[in-house]
Every structure is written in C-alpha cells, then in structure tokens.
Homo-oligomer: A and B are copies of this chain.
Amino acid sequence: MRKLANLVSELKPSPIREMLKIVAELKRNKIDVIQLSTGQPSLPVDKEVLDELIKVFLNDPIKVSSYTPTGGIRELHEAIVADLKIFGKIDVNLNEVVVTEGATEGLLLTALALFEKGDEVVMMDPSYVSYPHVTLIAGAKPIYVCEKVEEGYQPNLERIKEKITEKTKAIILATPDNPTGRVIREEIAKGLIDLSIDHDFWLIIDEAYKHLIYEGEHYWFWRYANARERTICVNTFSKDPAMTGFRLGYIYGPSEVISAIEKIKQYTTLCSNTPAQIAAIKYLQPEVKKRILEYTLRIYKARRDALYNAVKEKLPEVKTIKPEGAMYMFVNMENVLRKLNMDDYQFMIELVKNKHVAVIYGGAFGPESKNHIRLTFVGENEERLRKGVELIREFIDERK
C-alpha cells in the first residue's frame, strides 16, 4: 500500500532547522534578527585554507570533481592521525579512521553500524537533537538520563546505573556538551568507562567541540587503553575551522566498527565531498590549525564571557552554568516561565516574533529539559549578545 514509513512520524523536525526557517522569513522582510539559535560560527573559513582550495580548483579540476575512496582520501586519514597525536597524544591507526559528511552522518553511520531493534541507547537529557533520532532510524530506543544545573550538567553515574539493562547497547554523549557547554570531569568519564566494561556496552563520544574549550581540558577517552576497544569518537570540521557548509567530519574507533561504517557509507553518501577533504587536509597542518585555533578561541571566549555576564546581570532569576566549552549556554528558565505562564516552546516563538531574538527551546533537547532555553554565543559579536539578553529582559518584563 502506498503510504509513508512509520519512521517519518516518529522523527521530530529539528528545532534548530525550524528556527532557521523563521529567521530566514524575518530576514526576507528586512528584519534584523539577533541569532542566539544556530551552531553556525560567524567566522568565515580561513583564507589560507580557501586559497589552497582555489589553487586545486585551478590546477587540478579533475581531482576536485572525482570520487574519493568511500572512507576518505588517504592523505586526509594521515593528517587526522597526526593531528590526534599532536592534540590528543593518542595513537590512532589509519584503519581506525573514516571520513563522514559532518558529525551528522557520523552519528547516523555509528547508529546504523551498532544499534538495532530491541537495543536501548542511553543518552543525557539534555542531549544534542541527533542522538534520539539516529537511534530511532536504526530501530533502537532512546533512554534519557537527566542532567541538572545544580550538578553543573555533569552526567550523574548513579542515575545512569539505574537505567542500564541487558538491552543497553551504548551510551552516547558530547564533551564539551551541546546544549550545556559543560566539559566532562575526569572522574565521571572514568566512571563511564568502568560502567561500559562491567556491562559490556559501547561508548559513543561526540567530540564536535573538543577544541573549543575555554577553561579546563578535553577528556580524551582513547588515552585509556581499556576504553579504546569500546569507544567510538565522532568529530566534525564544522566548528573549530568553521567549515560548516563544507559538511565534513570523521570518526575514529575500533577498526571493526570503522570498517562496518565504511561499508554502510557506500549506501548513505558513497564518499564525502572532495573539495572539503582537500580543505581539511590544509586545515590540519599543525601551524595552520594552531593559528586558527588561537584566533578563534580568543574571539569565542570573549563572546562567552559577554553572554554569561549579561545573563548574570540582566536575568538574575535564571539558573545556569558558565560554559567551559562549545558554543552554547543552557539556561534554566523555570522561575521566568512559571511567572509568565508559558512553556519553553511558546517563549521561543513569542520572543522571536516580538523581539527578533532567536533562541532554541529546551524541550527540544530532551523531555526533562523543557523549562530551559539554549543560547548560542558564537554567532554574534559581544555588543549584539548583550543586546539580545537585554531584549529577553524587556520581553519578560513586558509580559509580567
């Protein structure tokens, strides 16, 4: 019978993409929107990287227009392996790396390679929006474990333990985190590794923001020998090099998982975009990357501080943490929403319509995360970030 698959109604449209449409509509009407909603860096791709790409376009048009091997160009694999050695002090083999269309395809491929009907996948509430959806696409069931502002949005090992069953196939989480900006603490990461060994499940670590850390350090799971055989790390070139529109990322993990992922990728996207792979090779040259990271971190840290200070000053009734990494601040709005008699979704819609400030409602990141909003701090300069918070204040006061 001619109908859509049930999967279609199980999936929710991404709130970030939904907001992009609203913003695009406002912009079409020449309205200036303060964007605290997308994960889109406002910095362009580095000029040295673009120049390299243009050179290849001019000198070798056949190269840029040809398929690459499904798992990616060999020199890119070599550059990724060298990069992980320099920045993570970890040894990864060439057959433990596969190139993907951003972390989005990375998460999908990991899910298809590991999950199936009957499996349960433990994820934090809040979590990045892709995790429950790729779990559903693979036929498995998302199991949420609440993270709390009072605990600095750190994963709570006790609450996680309560949700582990014989069906638990994996735990998936991001560090630094989207949407909370928290960086996982070492003892909690080690606790997760121990759990995964005791109960024999996979750990899937979303490292999209591993280079965007303003205080503290990234916890590299692969530094721990007993974690390697069970840990898959999903990465992207969308964030620190801002190559968002190039749609490129990579996964490193145990070789049998990587080769399964490569097999599946033949039927999801065949291979990744060739120019993007050429650009990534350039970005991964140590001196290029160090220069770009230094510049980017300086700007993003100042923006993080500006947003955090503005929220502390202008919105004293909300609860949040100072994000140590990533691009986001997750704000518990319970006190505000109760007074306004609104839910988080309504708040988001009314705010963008009335004050032209775009945020994302918390409920999009997990059922217990309603009553929050997510603010992005990398997409606007410091002045506009402060202006955005002032407009949120105005909006609340006018509604009271």
Contacts and interface: CB of A to CB of B under 8 A. Distances in A.
Interface of A: 1-2, 4-8, 11, 13-14, 17, 20-21, 24, 38, 40, 42, 44-45, 47, 50, 53-54, 57-58, 61-70, 101-102, 104-105, 107-108, 112-116, 130, 133-134, 137-139, 166, 169, 200-202, 230, 242-247, 256-257, 260, 263-264, 266-276
A66 B5 CA distance: 31
A50 B44 contact: no
B247 A273 contact: yes
A232 B130 CA distance: 26
A13 B266 contact: yes
A5 to B, nearest CB: 4
A58 B230 CA distance: 44
Given A108-B267, A267-B133, A272 B247 contact: yes
B273 A273 contact: yes
A336 to B, nearest CB: 29
Q: Which of A24, A113, A200, A269 has the most CB atoms of chain B within a 10 A radius of its CB? A: A269
A61 B40 contact: no
A166 B1 CA distance: 7
Query: So how many copies of this chain end up in the complex?
Result: 2
Nearest to A276: B273
Nearest to A261: B8
A69 B269 contact: no
A27 to B, nearest CB: 12
16 contacts: A1-B201, A4-B114, A7-B112, A7-B116, A8-B260, A11-B267, A14-B70, A17-B69, A17-B270, A38-B67, A47-B61, A64-B245, A65-B243, A65-B245, A101-B247, A104-B270
A101 B266 contact: no
B201 A264 contact: no
Contact of A245 (B200, B246, B274): B274
Given A2-B200, A4-B114, 13 more contacts: A4-B260, A5-B115, A7-B264, A11-B264, A13-B263, A13-B266, A40-B67, A105-B268, A246-B273, A247-B270, A247-B273, A269-B269, A275-B275
B137 A139 contact: no
Contacts of A276: 273
A101 B267 CA distance: 11
Contacts of A1: 166, 169, 200-201
Contacts of A66: 40, 244-245
A269 B8 contact: no
A377 to B, nearest CB: 17
Contacts of A266: 11, 13-14, 17, 133
B2 A104 contact: no
A264 B137 contact: yes
Contacts of A47: 61
A165 to B, nearest CB: 11
A245 B21 contact: no
Contacts of A113: 4-5, 7-8
Contacts of A11: 263-264, 266-267
A275 B245 contact: yes
A243 B64 CA distance: 9
Nearest to A102: B270
